[in-house]
Structure 1
Amino acid sequence: MARVKDLWKNRDGSRTSRYGSGKRYLAVWEGPDGKEKTRAFERKIDASRHGSAMETDRLRGSYIDPRAGRISVRTYAESRWFPLLVHISENTRDTYGRHLRNRIYPAFGEREIGSLTRADMKHFVAVMDKDPELSPSTVHTAFATLRIMMQAAVDDEIIIANPCSRVKLPRITERVIDPLSPDAVLGLADVLSPRYRVAVFLGAGAGLRRGEALGLVVPRVDFLKRSIDVRVQAQKGKLVDLKTRYSKRVVPVDDLILEEIRRHMLRYEPGPEKVLISNTWKAIAKPSSFNSCWAKAVEKAGLPTGTRFHDLRHFYASSLIAAGVNAKAIQRRMGHASITETFDTYGHLFPDHEDLGRGAIGAMLTRFDEDSGTDPEQGN
């Protein structure tokens, strides 16, 4: 049974050598290994409650040694959590690492992981939310990194519960897609570095993401079937698997796009692994280098600062919608995981007029009556 020991007085009431020094009351309980565990407290009631709680957890089979939570957040992240993230993509690892360095370590790096409370988490979110340089989406991803790490600590039996649970985050305002105009797309192609010009047409004419465009290999371009087979993407100067299985897709393309690819191939030899687009050193282009060229092109084209390569993808989707391509086909060509993702992103671009389809049902039923010879007034 759990008990409390007075560190300042002996059983006979005499003072111990520790009288007046340090915490007075020692909670004593038995751990799952049968050995005594202890923790000192200022107040007797706190020691009693803690000992009882530990005893209850042991009996329930949910006991966690309080000493395990004394490891610092930084030490746990760098020695146990982060090195074992072998199942995630390199991009995701970079995202986690960035949030650890820039936000989580400054706030909690030297704190014992077992000392973090839900109040600490709420304060962390509030501080980030007040930072004018952080968007709500960045706050969400930074907090998600911390929440995932803390859940790992629960799974590793470092802490009892995840303090990040039930913490409200700032609302993310939905971004209404306003597609680029054809003039803007062509303008970007004209001012972007010639080595990267074809990437504009891969984004606007095939819906490829930046990494997919930079990682497209020549053998995956089928000039006869007029299609592009998306199978890999470029990350940090090398080809890697796509993020999801849904991203793997065959995209039909117009002759204009194929002609741009031909022109590029005549001007530039394929890079490593026969990649279509390479940098000036004939290596696979890195995002940082491409982004620098892209930002200059956006400025030269007179487009708003912040115009992204991903906006070319929105142009592609909006063009398909305007052409009457059905949503399911658009989903496949975009590499979306579900039709819901397609509608959530581009639903406002689909025709939605109250007169759309009006008369179709009447015409169908009238035609059926005429074909069957049934008189609607007489019945059968």
Structure 2
Amino acid sequence: MARVRDLWMRKVKHPDGSVTKEKTTRYGKGKRYLAVWLDPSGDEATQAFQRKIDAENHASVMEADRLRGAYVDPRAGKVGLQEYAETRWLPQLVHVAEGTKETYERHLRHRVYPAFGKREIGSITRADAKSFVARLNADPGLANTTVHTAFATLRIVMQAAVDDEIINANPCSRVKLPRLGDRVIDPLPVEAVRDLADAITPRYRVAVFLGAGAGLRRGEALGLTIPRIAFDRRHVDIRVQAQKGRLVELKTKYSRRIVPVDDVVLEEVRRHMELYAPAPGNVLISNTWKAVAKPSAFNSAWSRAAGKVGLPEGTRFHDLRHFYASALIAAGVNPKAIQRRMGHASITETFDTYGHLFPDHEELGRGAIDLLLRAPS
């Protein structure tokens, strides 16, 4: 049965049957009232409070949680958020792709830990979560999409703590985020793509053509193996990607695809193969040590090339993928075919990303109904 014990005063029963209160040796030291309840194993659990009403409320809540099977040991929430994430949550992420895990780690390191890393996970409130969003949103260097992703990382960690019975509820639930504006892709000019290919480190030149000419993601380009390049059938078969200098599975089943490529891409591949030895595993692109190229080294080469040709800071390899999609749209390729070549999970993703690039004006399709319905003269 839940109860409250006074740590400063104790009742003393005298021989004549009278009862008085006397000060204990703890009088005036520390918190006065001790909430006492039984945990699910039947053992006594306690927590001290300054006010009696707080102790009574806490003891009642813990007793009610035990009876309805929702009991969480308050001591569990005293673990620091960073300690929990590093020692329990991250090691358990065996079900997510390596790239997704890297994204979580990056947001934890740069945004979540500075705000909550040393805080006890049980002390983080919904007000704290709202303040976190407000601080991120006030940073002019962060896009709204980054705010969403950083907060999603915190929310997932806190939900894992709920699932692990460390805290009772997720303080990140029902927290409003800044509205995401309509996504507008502005493809790179063709001159910029050619300039990038000429400016980047020569052994990475072919990657520019794989991005702009086949829509490959960075990891897919760096992990493309020579046996997956069909020169006779003029296509590349995407089956793996490179991450941290090694080949790993693709993130989704939709990323596995065959992409037809034009001669200009195949010519660059042949030229590359004449100049550079493949990496282990017959990977087309190798670094100077003849190993699979690492993202950090490639990103440095990419940034230098983008700056050299005068492209805005923040121009990404992914922008080549947008260039490829816009070229297919301009050529009138069927949207469903574009979805497959891009490796999108659904046509909705394709239209959400590139819908504004498809032609849309009142003359489009003019005459089609005339041909079908007009009676013969």
Shorter-normalised TM range = over 0.9
Equivalent residue letter for 1:152: A
Select which of 180, 196, 206 maps to 2:204.
196
* Higher mean displacement: 344-353 or 119-128: 119-128
Identity across the alignment (%): 71
* Higher mean displacement: 80-89 or 208-217: 80-89
Select which of 214, 233, 247 maps to 1:239.
247
Q: State the 1:96 CA deviation.
A: 2.1
Distance change (3 Å), C-alpha of 1:110 and 1:183: closer
Deviation digits for residues 104-123 of structure 1, max 9, x if unmatched? 22222222111111011111
Distance change (3 Å), C-alpha of 1:153 and 1:209: same
* Higher mean displacement: 186-195 or 89-98: 89-98
Aligned counterparts, 1:94-173, within 5 A: 94-173=102-181
Provide TM-score, normalisation by structure 1: 0.93
Aligned counterparts, 1:355-366, within 5 A: 355-366=363-374
Select which of 256, 268, 271 maps to 1:260.
268
The question of 1:4 aligning with 2:9 is answered no
User: How far apart are the structure 2 equivalents of 1:305 and 1:210?
Assistant: 18
User: How far apart are the structure 1 equivalents of 2:279 and 2:43?
Assistant: 64
Q: State the 1:321 CA deviation.
A: 0.6
Q: State the 1:157 CA deviation.
A: 0.4
Q: State the 1:137 CA deviation.
A: 2.3
Equivalent residue letter for 1:62: A
**Map of 2:76 onto structure 1:** 68
Deviation digits for residues 74-93 of structure 1, max 9, x if unmatched? 22222221222222222222
**Map of 2:297 onto structure 1:** 289
Give secondary structure in 1 for the equivalent of 2:21: coil
User: How far apart are the structure 2 equivalents of 1:287 and 1:238?
Assistant: 10
Aligned counterparts, 1:1-380, within 5 A: 1-11=1-11, 12-366=20-374, 369-370=375-376
- Structure 2 gaps of 5+ residues are 12-19
* Higher mean displacement: 131-140 or 2-11: 131-140
**Map of 2:16 onto structure 1:** none
User: How far apart are the structure 1 equivalents of 2:192 and 2:111?
Assistant: 37
Q: State the 1:175 CA deviation.
A: 3.9
Deviation digits for residues 358-377 of structure 1, max 9, x if unmatched? 221232123xx54xxxx9xx
Q: State the 1:173 CA deviation.
A: 3.3
Deviation digits for residues 150-179 of structure 1, max 9, x if unmatched? 111100100000011111222333441111
**Map of 2:17 onto structure 1:** none
User: How far apart are the structure 1 equivalents of 2:122 and 2:10?
Assistant: 32
Deviation digits for residues 313-369 of structure 1, max 9, x if unmatched? 111111111111110000000000110110011000101011211221232123xx5
User: How far apart are the structure 2 equivalents of 1:117 and 1:15?
Assistant: 37
Give secondary structure in 2 for the equivalent of 1:331: helix
Q: State the 1:138 CA deviation.
A: 2.3
Q: State the 1:311 CA deviation.
A: 1.3
Q: State the 1:65 CA deviation.
A: 1.3
User: How far apart are the structure 2 equivalents of 1:290 and 1:346?
Assistant: 27
Deviation digits for residues 237-275 of structure 1, max 9, x if unmatched? 111111111101000111221111111112222221111
Equivalent residue letter for 2:369: I
Q: State the 1:136 CA deviation.
A: 2.4
User: How far apart are the structure 1 equivalents of 2:237 and 2:121?
Assistant: 47
User: How far apart are the structure 1 equivalents of 2:305 and 2:109?
Assistant: 31
User: How far apart are the structure 1 equivalents of 2:369 and 2:195?
Assistant: 45
Q: State the 1:10 CA deviation.
A: 1.5
Q: State the 1:44 CA deviation.
A: 1.1
Kindly report the root-mean-square deviation, in angstroms, between the aligned alpha carbons of the 2 structures. Answer: 1.6
Give secondary structure in 2 for the equivalent of 1:27: strand
Deviation digits for residues 215-236 of structure 1, max 9, x if unmatched? 1110000011111001111111
Equivalent residue letter for 2:5: K
Give secondary structure in 2 for the equivalent of 1:343: helix
User: How far apart are the structure 2 equivalents of 1:168 and 1:315?
Assistant: 34
Give secondary structure in 2 for the equivalent of 1:169: coil
User: How far apart are the structure 2 equivalents of 1:6 and 1:161?
Assistant: 30
Distance change (3 Å), C-alpha of 1:103 and 1:10: same
Equivalent residue letter for 1:212: E
